[in-house]
């Protein structure tokens, strides 16, 4: 259970249902199977922790939800998924040290994004040809969307996994209203050796791909997509990872956290609050009779 206050409806309601199931399954041992991540003190969840004896991890008071990947909020579930969180964390630390010395690339990206914003672009499609990065794109979507979307400003972030989504939104990207930009997240080094074999008879007419790896095919698909979308007058930014591993993902996480702060401040708004989210909560609670 991860919640700073313990009272966010969607999370608290899911926890209630799962807690009932756990208590039915494990009876008096249920508390030993539940781990909570919440604020150091205060809030409904801390009362429940004191009452039930759940194991607890602390969310630092000065870290907002979307910036909390490198705290127990993100590190615990990442570790449970079998990923080396020490390497991930120190990848982020290395990015921190690097940008303290020279942040030219990051500042250039923030300035470019600001210029694209000022030119009237209102949508940024974060696209990758690597399905493994789809959920990371969802975090980037929240990080930027909740941070920059205020006072009528910001570029709406959305996530696409190509080539699948090229068959649904590719037409709009290519020839729709020129309101968008694209940010490609690229992995240079293949992490799979799967390749196309030659098939006797060639009944599917794919033998022209024989001997090519899927990474190579994917790369050509990306290059072709970039070429087509550029010709369609879509500004494209490429962010390249040398390989898909914990160190590079840790660096990327810190890169986007720092970029978000710099870019959103350049718009003249606060990157660390989310007043609009509170508005929907108030309306929802009123309609539910709280």
**CATH number of residue 207's parent domain:** 3.40.50.10490
- Residues 235, 132, single domain; the answer is yes
pLDDT in the model for residue 192: 84
Please give the helix or strand (H or E) that residue 125 lies within, else none: strand 123-128
The helices-and-strands tally (H runs, E runs) of the chain is 10, 6
String of DSSP letters for 197-225:
PP-TT-TTS-GGGTT-BHHHHHHHHHHHH
pTM of the model: 0.90
Find the mean pLDDT for residues 20-49.
93
String of DSSP letters for 152-206:
T---EEEEEETTGGGGTTHHHHHHS-S-EEEEEEEE-S-S---BPPP-TT-TTS-
Neighbours of 206 (CB within 10 A): 12
Which residues, 6+ apart, have CB-to-CB distance to 213 below 8 Å?
190, 192, 193, 194, 195, 196
- Give catalytic residue positions: 146, 167, 281
pLDDT in the model for residue 281: 86
Report how many domains make up the chain. 2
Check whether 265 has a pLDDT greater than 90: yes
Q: Identify whether 86 is part of a domain.
A: no
260: confidence class by pLDDT, cuts 50, 70, 90: very high
Q: Which residues on adjacent β-strands are paired with residue 158?
A: 125
Q: What is the pLDDT of residues 141-175, one digit of tens each?
A: 999 999 999 999 999 999 999 989 999 999 999 99
**CA 146 to chain CA centroid, nearest Å:** 12
Find the mean pLDDT for residues 193-209.
93
Tell me: cis bond preceding 44? Omega within 30 of 0 counts.
no
Find the mean pLDDT for residues 61-81.
93
Q: Identify whether 256 is part of a domain.
A: no
Please give the helix or strand (H or E) that residue 128 lies within, else none: strand 123-128
- Residues 142, 202, single domain; the answer is yes
6: confidence class by pLDDT, cuts 50, 70, 90: confident
Q: What is the share, in percent, of the chain residues with pLDDT greater than 90? A: 89
* Residue whose C-alpha is closest to residue 141's, from 123, 118, 168, 166: 123
pLDDT in the model for residue 219: 92
Check whether 38 has a pLDDT greater than 90: yes
- Residues 212, 148, single domain; the answer is yes
CA angle 130, 131, 135 (to 5 degrees): 115
Q: Identify whether 154 is part of a domain.
A: yes
Q: Identify whether 236 is part of a domain.
A: yes
pLDDT in the model for residue 4: 87
Check whether 109 has a pLDDT greater than 90: yes
- Residue 54 belongs to what domain range? 9-62
- Residues 44, 119, single domain; the answer is no
- Residues 51, 122, single domain; the answer is no
Taking all residues of the chain, what is their mean pLDDT, rounded to a whole number?
Answer: 94
Q: Identify whether 53 is part of a domain.
A: yes
Read off the tokens for 79. 């570790």
- Residues 30, 117, single domain; the answer is no
- Residues 114, 185, single domain; the answer is yes
Q: Identify whether 98 is part of a domain.
A: no
């Amino acid at each position: 259970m991860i919640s700073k206050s313990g009272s966010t409806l969607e999370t608290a309601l899911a926890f209630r249902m799962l807690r009932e199931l756990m208590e039915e399954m494990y009876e008096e041992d249920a508390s030993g199977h539940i781990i909570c991540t919440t604020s150091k003190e205060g809030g409904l969840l801390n009362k429940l922790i004191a009452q039930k004896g759940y194991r607890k991890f602390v969310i630092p008071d000065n870290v907002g939800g979307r910036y909390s990947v490198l705290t127990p909020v993100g590190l615990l579930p990442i570790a449970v998924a079998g990923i080396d969180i020490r390497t991930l964390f120190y990848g982020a630390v290395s990015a921190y040290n690097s940008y303290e010395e020279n942040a030219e690339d990051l500042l250039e990206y923030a300035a470019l994004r600001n210029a694209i914003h000022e030119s009237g672009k209102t949508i940024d499609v974060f696209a990758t040809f690597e399905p493994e990065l789809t959920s990371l794109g969802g975090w980037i979507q929240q990080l930027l969307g909740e941070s920059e979307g205020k006072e009528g400003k910001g570029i709406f972030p959305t996530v696409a996994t190509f080539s699948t989504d090229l068959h649904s939104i590719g037409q709009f990207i290519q020839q729709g209203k020129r309101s968008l930009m694209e940010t490609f997240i690229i992995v240079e080094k293949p992490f799979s050796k799967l390749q196309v074999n030659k098939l006797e008879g060639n009944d599917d007419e794919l033998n022209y791909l024989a001997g090519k790896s899927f990474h190579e095919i994917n790369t050509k698909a990306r290059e072709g997509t970039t070429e087509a979308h550029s010709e369609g007058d879509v500004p494209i930014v490429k962010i390249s990872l040398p390989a898909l591993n914990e160190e590079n993902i840790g660096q990327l996480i810190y890169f986007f956290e720092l970029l978000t702060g710099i870019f959103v401040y350049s718009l003249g708004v606060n990157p660390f609050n989310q007043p609009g989210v509170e508005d929907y909560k108030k309306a929802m609670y009123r309609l539910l009779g709280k």
